Every structure is written in structure tokens, then in C-alpha cells.
Structure 1
């Protein structure tokens, strides 16, 4: 284990040069592990598909914040499950930062999907939502960075 805990990578066969970050880091061992989930988008790492991105016949794309947000939260759930042998999931989040490209257009839709996963304050993680100029790929409308705690 590295001094900053264990790395978890969704697709460990990805060459190191293609991505120099882990999808999550687990804090050093103990009865509870803190999982630091890297910024996560809607893209499905294993398939390379983009939920919430529709390719139109004219070469343009239609982007759907609701579908992307649901996919992001599902991806985070899968990262946490994978990093903890299914002992935890998205419901173990204690903190999240949501990055949204267009707050005026997309905040409400993102928040609606968020509230489907976390229907009450008593189960929702602390959260900050930040409007950003752009994300690493133009297909991305939303990205989430999060922290979870899981009893191991």
C-alpha cells in the first residue's frame, strides 16, 4: 500500500500513460475505509459509451443532463462497489462536489436526478455545486468528485 492508501482503477489494463490517476483511493486500512472518488463523468469506462449523448444524423450531438447525472451517480456507485468488494456504494457518500458546465440550463435537471438517488437530507452527502467554463470533454455536462466512508 502507498502512504496515501490503496489505488482502485476501474480498468487496470489501461496503460499508465493514458491516465495517471486512480478512479478512487482508499485510505489506509482500518475498520472504516475512506474512499476518495476521482472526478467521474457519464462515460462508461468498460464500454466507452456516453449515456446522455446522442449522435444526430447531421453530425451534431444532443446532450441530456438528467441522463448524464444518473450515469455519473451509477458510475460512482460502481467505483465504490468495485473498490470495496460491494461492501459500499453511492449511499456511502459523505461529501461531493458537482461541476456543471451551464448552471442556468442544467442545474435543475442535475438536481432532480440527484434527488432521486438522495431523496432526503438525512441520507444525502454534503454537497457543493460549482459552475465551470468547461470539462475535459465537450460531451460532458456534469462531473462529480466525491468521498465515501465504508465499514470494511
Structure 2
């Protein structure tokens, strides 16, 4: 069984679609703990913003792929840090992805997501929600997650 539990698919024989997530995940029935991860964006611990280039006029060039990759790496780092390295992003059982511009950025976000979670069997349950804005104008994607971890 995957560290993030067992996937449930309404039709497991259906071909993989363009997105990688099962319909639900059944958490493992063990002595693991649940880790609730706050909404995480692309700001790193050193204070830099991944996927953000500031222009001379104060506007930003924002890269959804780089931001998504940074968000998922930040979540992996948080899980590893909280568990002393015993668990990682593969332990996520549920995620909510907030995207500022779905039409422009959904495909790029999903491409990066699929690099981390290459199959529905390994991916957490997921919802993707379009939002008007995030707390910082440099953020175009944020992820909130729940993981079942070893401590």
C-alpha cells in the first residue's frame, strides 16, 4: 500500500485522464498521525519567491510551473521536517489547490503536479479552486494539504 493510503477509483480500468488524482483515498489504519498543512505558496525559507521575476516598473512576471514546483517542494520539506525525515509529499492524502487564473494556469499547474504524482494510484484526493486573489500579488498558486505520516 502507498504511504498515503489506498486509492479508490469508481472505475479502476478507465484510462488515466489529464489530471492525476483518485476519487478518494482510504487512509491507512495504523499508528500514523495526521499532519494538517496550512496553505503553502512559493516563498522559500530564505525569503525568495520562486517563479517570480520583478520588472523595473514594479510589475511581476509569474511562472505557474516554477511556482507549483516550489509549492510542492515546500510541502515536501514541511512534511520531512515535521517527521524527522520519515515521511514526505507522497504521504499527502488530500489537497486543495487554489489558482488565481484557471484559464491561463491550470494546465501548467497540473503538469507540475503530475511530475510529483505520476499516477492516480499515488496521488492524493484533490480539489482545484479558482480564486480572485491570494494574500500576496506574487502568488498565483497555493496548496493546502493533509498527510498521514510516520513520526
Q: TM-score range by the shorter chain?
A: 0.7 to 0.9
Instruction: Report the TM-score when normalising by structure 2.
Output: 0.78
Q: Distance in 2 between matches of 1:41 and 1:60?
A: 19
TM-score normalised by the chain length of structure 1: 0.78
What are the superposed Cα offsets for residues 37-60 of structure 1, whole Å, 9 maximum, x if unpaired?
00000000x211000001123432
Unaligned runs of 5+ in 1: 1-29
Aligned length: 122
* Structure-1 separation of matches of 2:92 and 2:135: 24
Higher relative contact order (CA 8 A, sep 6+): 2
Indicate the residue corresponding to 2:104 in structure 1: 105
**Uncovered stretches (5+) of structure 2, i.e. residues with no partner:** 1-29
In the other structure, the counterpart of 2:93 is: 94
Provide the C-alpha distance between the structure 2 equivalents of 1:144 and 1:57, rounded to a whole number of angstroms.
Answer: 29
Tell me the C-alpha RMSD between the 2 structures: 1.1
Q: How does 1:1-152 map to 2 (within 5 A)?
A: 31-44=31-44, 46-152=45-151
Would you identify which runs of 4 or more consecutive aligned residues in structure 1 move more than 4 Å? none
Deviation by residue 1:88-146 (Cα, 9 ceiling, x = unmatched)? 11010000000000000000000000000000000000000000011000100000000
Partners in 2 of 1:151 and 1:88 — Cα distance?
6
Give the whole-Å Cα distance in 2 for the aligned partners of 1:61 and 1:140: 10
